[in-house]
């Protein structure tokens, strides 16, 4: 095995260990839209995360939750931008 291949293998093991470390999260809970537990799947592995309680999950699942939140924020920003653009066009027309 070459040194380069060995380094890639070690890096991959380090990355896998990092993604499988347990982290503590608490998902927002209310009595309306955010009351159900959250199902997350990564590469055929899954977990069900209880809302409103501190739980330990693997980092790979927490990263998916973070990415989802970022996408939600970007979508909200996009909608606000488009609404503002629509209202400007509406006012220009009269």
**21-75 pLDDT tens trace:** 999 999 999 989 999 999 999 999 999 999 999 999 999 999 999 999 999 999 9
Closest C-alpha to 46, from 34, 59, 27, 61: 61
Predicted confidence (pLDDT) at residue 9 exceeds the cutoff of 90: no
**70-91 pLDDT tens trace:** 999 999 999 999 999 999 999 9
Model pTM greater than 0.85? no
Query: Residue 51 carries which DSSP code?
Result: B
CA distances 41 to 10, 44, 94, Å, are 25, 6, 49
pLDDT at 55: 97
Predicted confidence (pLDDT) at residue 7 exceeds the cutoff of 70: no
* Most distant CA pair in the chain, distance: 73
């Amino acid at each position: 095995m070459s040194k380069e291949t060995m380094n890639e293998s070690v890096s991959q093991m380090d990355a896998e260990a990092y993604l499988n470390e347990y982290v503590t999260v608490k998902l927002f809970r209310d009595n309306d839209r955010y009351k159900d537990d959250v199902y997350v799947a990564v590469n055929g592995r899954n977990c069900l995360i209880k809302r409103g309680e501190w739980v330990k999950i693997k980092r790979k699942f927490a990263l998916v939750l973070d990415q989802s939140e970022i996408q939600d924020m970007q979508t909200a920003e996009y909608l606000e931008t488009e609404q503002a653009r629509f209202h400007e066009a509406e006012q220009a027309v009269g």
